[in-house]
Amino acid sequence: MHDKTIARIRHGLASGEFSSREICEHLLSRIDQLNPSCNAFISVSSELALQHADDADKRRAAGADSPLLGVPIAHKDIFCTNGVRTSCGSRMLENFVPPYNATVVDKLSQAGVVCLGKTNMDEFAMGSSNENSYFGNVVNPWGSNRVPGGSSGGSAAAVAARMVPGCTGTDTGGSIRQPASFCGITGIKPTYGRVSRYGMIAFASSLDQGGPMAATAEDCALLLQEMAGFDEKDSTSIDRPVDDYCGSLNDALDGLKVGLPKQYFTEGLDNNIAASLQASIAELEKMGASFVEVDLPNQHLSVPAYYVVAPAECSSNLSRFDGVRYGYRCDNPADLEDLYKRSRGEGFGREVKRRILIGTYVLSAGYFDAYYLKAQKIRNLISEDFTSAFKEVDMILGPTTPTPAFKIGENSADPVSMYLNDIYTIPANLAGLPGISVPCGLVDDLPVGMQLVGNYFTEARLLNVAHRFQQVTDWHLKSPAK
């Protein structure tokens, strides 16, 4: 029952094979059973979920239908959910219950989903291992000593362990794609502006983008179809019709031109991952795709530029957590300064504080030009690299991560080695481009992902290529779940 994809669940619900309550009850009991060791969920809202499942069943019985009516999913705990605690993985928001929904939450609810709970994440989405959560680290279902990746590690682990067929995630520097790769699932970061950021707690506003995570590209298409679209409440969302992601899934790959960045296939990449990618390339060639080498000369600057821009924005975005209106407030503040210092000192974790400090520094008088402005210039160079490449090719293929899931604690002492995990994913965020991670092999019994990055608003094509790839491979069907 739990191994069903969203597509399969839709079919089962529509045909009356099972009810939404049945599938939701099944998954909730599975969460009960697996979550204590996996820790993929921060909150499980069983009662509310079953109520919504019953509603969905009643509506269906009454002849209603909507694209995802009765389909169980979970939301990353960064999306505000009206009346349901939204912690963002932080002590700061441990008891925060928003009086509003994120637009993504509203849109998926309107499509009929039933939300089973809120998934674990690195605090304020800052991290690549889910070790930075105030609610404890998430364990990768593929290996009890392995991290699930981050920051959407809870979502990735929940799907990989088949506790839920699909989840929302957010991606600022790889936070959907890297955990998808580490957990053997599919995850897409759409074009910046394609999915509304309203009600999605901001980390770095110019980079953050919500997207779906699920076992298959088809399921990602089903979810993204409902999540995407212009939102007048988000000035950076783009007023442009949403493509038919599901309708083009089976399009032929004949004539598809794929670029292989020479900077990606170098010594820094794990040999076994390189081999998995080569095998995947061969599969795609069989279907009519052709491959050429492309040059992305400024790729090596993306991690340093990212670690200026993202902390700069986060230092300002997280200023609102001051202990005055909501969220954590220290006990017995002596005065205003003490209230600020202790509320923030006690409410935020180490990595968040590190990034606030870096961001405050790079925006300071005298450093702004040397760091922030320079990083913005590099950002333009990286975008231009892609623009040139997309004159030659339709999309770019490479690894999602340099290695498979690393061990818990392995990188936690060294922030720079942790940051380098996102070396392949960050460029797409800096340029605002869509990227998808697709399972493409197992290395030492751990899943690895292939990343496809397309031009702006080519989500449909990325999902199409990923789907066709999944028609001839079975890496996405492999699961550690018993």
Binding another protein (rule: CB under 8 A), the pick from 34, 201, 217, 408 is 201
Binding another protein (rule: CB under 8 A), the pick from 312, 440, 453, 463 is 312
Closer to another protein by CB, 32 or 338: give it: 338
Distance (Å, rounded) from C-alpha 444 to C-alpha 441?
10
Binding another protein (rule: CB under 8 A), the pick from 51, 319, 387, 388 is 319
Distance (Å, rounded) from C-alpha 317 to C-alpha 320?
7
Rule CB under 8 A: say whether 89 interacts with another protein: no
Distance (Å, rounded) from C-alpha 328 to C-alpha 92?
5
Stretch that binds another protein, among 88-96, 113-121, 216-224, 391-399 (CB under 8 A): 88-96
Question: How many chain residues interact with another protein (CB under 8 A)?
Answer: 45
Among candidate residues 458, 448, 452, 466, the one with its CA nearest the CA of residue 178: 448
Rule CB under 8 A: say whether 328 interacts with another protein: no
> Is residue 75 within a helix (H) or strand (E), and if so which, with residue range?
strand 72-76
Give yes or no for a contact between 458 and 330, defined as CB atoms under 8 angstroms apart: no
CB of 7 to another protein, least distance (A): 30
248 catalytic per annotation: no
Binding another protein (rule: CB under 8 A), the pick from 28, 42, 93, 227 is 93
Rule CB under 8 A: say whether 316 interacts with another protein: yes
Binding another protein (rule: CB under 8 A), the pick from 9, 138, 156, 200 is 200
76 catalytic per annotation: yes
Among candidate residues 354, 356, 270, 277, the one with its CA nearest the CA of residue 313: 356
CB of 368 to another protein, least distance (A): 7
Rule CB under 8 A: say whether 226 interacts with another protein: no
The encoded tokens of residue 342 equal: 């202790």
Distance (Å, rounded) from C-alpha 419 to C-alpha 79?
24
Stretch that binds another protein, among 10-18, 29-37, 179-187, 310-318 (CB under 8 A): 310-318
CA torsion sign, 466 to 243 to 457 to 120?
negative
Stretch that binds another protein, among 86-94, 211-219, 391-399, 429-437 (CB under 8 A): 86-94
Rule CB under 8 A: say whether 357 interacts with another protein: no
Rule CB under 8 A: say whether 210 interacts with another protein: no
Distance (Å, rounded) from C-alpha 145 to C-alpha 246?
37
The encoded tokens of residue 393 equal: 């090719």
Rule CB under 8 A: say whether 360 interacts with another protein: yes
Closer to another protein by CB, 135 or 372: give it: 372
Binding another protein (rule: CB under 8 A), the pick from 198, 348, 406, 475 is 198
Residue written as tokens 């070790």?
A: 131
Closer to another protein by CB, 233 or 377: give it: 233
Rule CB under 8 A: say whether 202 interacts with another protein: yes
Rule CB under 8 A: say whether 206 interacts with another protein: yes
Exactly one of 4, 20, 76, 128 is catalytic; which is it? Answer: 76
DSSP letters spanning 347-379:
HS-HHHHHHHHHHHHHHSTTTTIIIIIHHHHHH
Residue written as tokens 């990212």?
A: 306
Question: What letters, b where the CB count within 10 A reaches 16 and e where it falls short, cover 391-404?
Answer: eebbbbbbbbbbbb
Binding another protein (rule: CB under 8 A), the pick from 6, 27, 69, 102 is 102
Residues in region 365-404 near another protein by CB under 8 A:
365, 368, 372
Residues in region 232-251 near another protein by CB under 8 A:
232-236
The encoded tokens of residue 119 equal: 């998934």
151 catalytic per annotation: yes
Contacting residues for 271 by C-beta, under 8 A, at least 6 apart: none
Binding another protein (rule: CB under 8 A), the pick from 364, 387, 388, 417 is 364
Beta-sheet strands, E only, within 236-289: 257-261
CB of 374 to another protein, least distance (A): 13
CB of 151 to another protein, least distance (A): 15
Closer to another protein by CB, 264 or 307: give it: 307
Stretch that binds another protein, among 38-46, 72-80, 283-291, 395-403 (CB under 8 A): 72-80
Q: Are strands 446-454 and 395-399 parallel, antiparallel or unpaired?
A: antiparallel
Exactly one of 45, 175, 196, 302 is catalytic; which is it? Answer: 175
Query: Angle, nearest 10°, between helix axes 46-61 and 20-38?
Result: 160
Distance (Å, rounded) from C-alpha 161 to C-alpha 171?
21
Instruction: List residues bridging with 449 in a β-sheet.
Output: 439
Closer to another protein by CB, 93 or 433: give it: 93
Task: Count Cα atoms within 13 angstroms, Cβ side, for 444.
Answer: 12
Residue written as tokens 């509506």?
A: 59
Rule CB under 8 A: say whether 80 interacts with another protein: yes
Distance (Å, rounded) from C-alpha 287 to C-alpha 219?
22
Give yes or no for a contact between 129 and 418, defined as CB atoms under 8 angstroms apart: yes
Contacts with another protein by CB under 8 A lie at 78-80, 86, 88, 93, 96, 98-100, 102, 197-202, 204-206, 232-236, 312-313, 315-316, 318-322, 324-326, 336, 340, 360, 363-365, 368, 372
Active site residue ranges: 76, 151, 175
